[in-house]
Amino acid sequence: MKILLKRLRTILQYDCLYYFLLIINIIYIIIYVYNYELKSKYNINENKFILTISDIKIDGDKLALNFYEDLVGTYYFKNKKEKEEFNYEIGDKLEIEGSLKIPSNNTIFNTFNYKKYLERKGIKYILNINTILLKSKNRNILIKLKNLIYKRISNIKNNDYLYALILGRTNYIDNELYNNYKINGVTHLFSLSGLHVSMLSSIIIFILNKLRMHKKISLFLTSILLIIFSFIASFTPSILRATIFFILININEIYYLNIKSKNILYLTFIIITFINPNYIFNIGFILSFTITFFIILFNENYKIKGKIKSILIISLISFLSSIPLIINMSYEINILCFFNNLFFIPYVSYIVFPLALLNIIFPFLNDILTILITFMENMSEISTNIFNLYLYFARMNILEIIIYYTLFILIIKNKKIIILPFIVFVVYLYIKTGFNNNTYIYFIDVNQGDSTLIITKNKKSILIDTGGKIDFYKEKWALQNNKFNLMTSSMIPFFKSIGLKKIDYLLLTHGDYDHMGEAINLVNNFKVDKVIFNCGTYNELEQELINVLDKKKIPYYSCIKELNIDDNKLYFLNNNDYGNENDNSSVIYTELNNHKFLFMGDAGVGVEQDLIEKYNLQDIDVLKVGHHGSKTSSSELFIDEINPKYSIISVGKNNRYGHPNDSVLDNLENSKIYRTDKDGSIMFKINNNKLQTETCPP
């Protein structure tokens, strides 16, 4: 046995063994992903299901259920009593009636794709739930333990951070507070990761050592408890990585195998991706591995003395190694988040997180935890207002990512001569969009609304309308904390992804909510230089925006006739006051690289008649169709006069207005019609005076 172990130790010393296994594993992943075809045991026409709950999330009136049978379901409580009486738990088997639907792709370029996200989790359909009945209660002991912890947390006062720190449920934290953490670059502290596993294992080992437990038994018990913790946390990839890595590290130590930490990390990667190759698409998993790899690589090449210096270096390495991943996830970097982490990481890791764990056992500690969390929230708000400096980066391609990490590895390996090229390359990433001389026009899918972004060849940006969705009144119990916001969730990330750092001109065609409802969110969350309103008196929504503009000292104008932007001129053709918001819409005409564009807002047939009498608008290349294709606009006479080559209809899927009207589609039949409900966002690219199109279909 000793001879066998000795031979095994010798074999495990060879780096080439792990490189070989890693190459085989990567080939396996590529083959798997390339041939991956998601299949479901369900037929889309099924409406009755027997399903077992694997996860439960309640947010306002919305109930989200995950099932072990590879389905996710959504149900909306009809009243407060129904919500309060909901008492199902994880592991319960349910009889459900509902309808299946295929999730949609993202319809705005470079934004989160929910369909692909579900596919990588093996889920093909979403279940819209109509009725729920209990078939049988859970009898699994481990799941009962999981439910017990969930129930324990739910009964503790101010439990939002307990949900986040122990169960990874960040959606319980107030939106504004969480956004502050996001600005400060510290949200990773509230999403379960290797940091939490490290802290938990340290606490367990400390307690067991105090009990004079034998080292092997101590490490064995710690491993078991970490596996249980991983189960309670639903085996999220980053937790799974940290747990397996911990177990392998301790096997290495107990049996004196002398395997390098880097090779143990490779082995961990191989094990996890062999179990599920789709984990390579999980950002938490990739971040966890990347940061751990570079910390290990740094420790192999440098010996840092002093705890404070070590914390500083590790924080810097973590920050630099995560930059490409963060850029492609949020398209922005808070360059001061490194300094923020110097406070928040030790504060959360050594004070808040351990106390949160103790709070589960000793609820009387809740008052102390509340005080500490309040202090943390105040520090986050101060940091948000004073210590943040965002830089926006366009999306990185695979070649740029490879170059970045190659240069970074060389620097860590003590190739100091590479530092200058590394800095130059990072600067290039920041300014690279300036080298693109094409003109872009994006008709953005904002559901039943309008929004168009123009980027000139000189990088001036004009946003015509913002879209907007009316929120209907809800009682307090039904309000969702994690409410979707089109501007901050999709549009601003899209702006950043294409390297846009500000909106030079925000043109609001008129004051209807579906055209300017997101304007306040825009100016509150993104830099806007100037705002231009249409003719006519300001309505309530416009006045609300003006109050915000005054506070932010953003200049605004109304009822202008033309706008000069570098070599381009925008003409505002409609300066009459027709006495209603739609007909008062700004009608904007411009020529971009000799291509004619006409944006009609919601102007009606009467305005169209006035336009063709006053202007020569023949042979328009791209028409933004008026009023979402309503029969009140786009008359046959007007369309025949302007003769558009392309017609863009911005319209919501299955909208209650019946847009676009069939008669309008008939009038436009001689043009190429694009619709945001069918084609998603539509991009026109003008390259060497040639018009190219691309869509982002659902």
Q: Measure the CA–CA gap between 531 and 513, rounded to whole angstroms.
A: 16
CA atoms within 13 A on the CB side of 517: 16
Mean pLDDT, residues 526-530 taken together: 95
Q: Measure the CA–CA gap between 316 and 322, rounded to whole angstroms.
A: 10
Amino acid 648: pLDDT: 97
The highest-confidence range among 180-189, 208-217, 463-472, 501-510, by mean pLDDT, is 501-510
Q: Which of 348-357, 383-392, 429-438, 461-470 has the lowest mean pLDDT?
A: 383-392
Amino acid 4: pLDDT: 73
Those residues with Cβ within 8 angstroms of residue 336's Cβ, 6 or more apart along the chain or in another chain: 185, 387, 388, 389
When pLDDT is cut at 50, 70 and 90, the band that residue 181 belongs to is confident
681 near 445, Cβ under 8 Å? Answer: yes
Mean pLDDT, residues 261-273 taken together: 94
pLDDT at 310 over 70: yes
Angle 539-542-543 (CA atoms, 0-180°, nearest 5)? 85
Those residues with Cβ within 8 angstroms of residue 86's Cβ, 6 or more apart along the chain or in another chain: 58, 63, 77
Q: Measure the CA–CA gap between 569 and 563, rounded to whole angstroms.
A: 6
- How many C-beta neighbours within 10 Å does residue 664 have? 25
pLDDT at 441 over 80: yes
pLDDT at 1 over 70: no
pLDDT at 473 over 80: no
Q: Which of 301-315, 493-507, 569-583, 672-686 has the lowest mean pLDDT?
A: 301-315
- How does pLDDT run across 629-653, given as a tens digit for each residue? 999 999 999 999 999 999 999 999 9
pLDDT at 308 over 80: no
Q: Measure the CA–CA gap between 190 and 439, rounded to whole angstroms.
A: 41
Q: How many residues does the chain have?
A: 698
Amino acid 316: pLDDT: 87
Amino acid 488: pLDDT: 82
241 near 289, Cβ under 8 Å? Answer: yes
**Strands of 452-455's sheet, edge to edge?**
556-558, 528-533, 503-507, 461-464, 452-455, 439-443, 681-687, 690-696
Q: Percentage of residues in the chain with pLDDT exceeding 70?
A: 99
Chain-wide mean pLDDT for the chain?
Answer: 90
**Residue 149, SS3?**
helix
b/e 20-53 (16+ beta carbons within 10 angstroms → b): ebeeebeeebeeeeeeeeeeeeeeeeeeebebbb
pLDDT at 103 over 90: yes
77 near 60, Cβ under 8 Å? Answer: no
- How does pLDDT run across 412-425, given as a tens digit for each residue? 987 778 889 999 99
Q: Measure the CA–CA gap between 238 and 284, rounded to whole angstroms.
A: 6
Compute CA distances 546 → 35, 219, 555, 561, whole Å.
54, 63, 9, 21
pLDDT at 207 over 90: no
Compute CA distances 271 → 8, 248, 499, whole Å.
19, 11, 38
Torsion sign across C-alpha atoms 583, 585, 591, 597: negative
- How does pLDDT run across 326-379, given as a tens digit for each residue? 899 889 888 888 788 888 888 888 898 889 888 888 888 888 999 999 999 898
First vs last Cα of the chain: how many Å apart?
A: 60
Amino acid 482: pLDDT: 67
Helix 237-254 vs helix 194-210: crossing angle, to nearest 10? 40
Q: Which of 130-134, 237-241, 449-453, 523-527 has the lowest mean pLDDT?
A: 237-241
Amino acid 277: pLDDT: 93
Tokens of 517: 């409802």
CA atoms within 13 A on the CB side of 428: 11
Mean pLDDT, residues 524-539 taken together: 93
Q: What are phi and psi of 447, to 5 degrees?
A: 65, -135
Q: Measure the CA–CA gap between 204 and 197, rounded to whole angstroms.
A: 10
Amino acid 164: pLDDT: 84
**Strands of 646-649's sheet, edge to edge?**
562-565, 568-572, 588-592, 595-599, 622-624, 646-649, 672-675
Amino acid 483: pLDDT: 67
DSSP state of 425: H
- How many C-beta neighbours within 10 Å does residue 18 have? 20
Q: Verify cis geometry, omega within 30 degrees of 0, for the bond prior to 103.
A: no
pLDDT at 481 over 90: no
352 near 373, Cβ under 8 Å? Answer: yes
When pLDDT is cut at 50, 70 and 90, the band that residue 68 belongs to is very high
Q: Which residue has the tokens 């005080």?
A: 371
Strand partners, 598: 589, 623
507 near 532, Cβ under 8 Å? Answer: yes
Amino acid 614: pLDDT: 92
Amino acid 306: pLDDT: 72
Pairing of strands 568-572, 390-392: unpaired
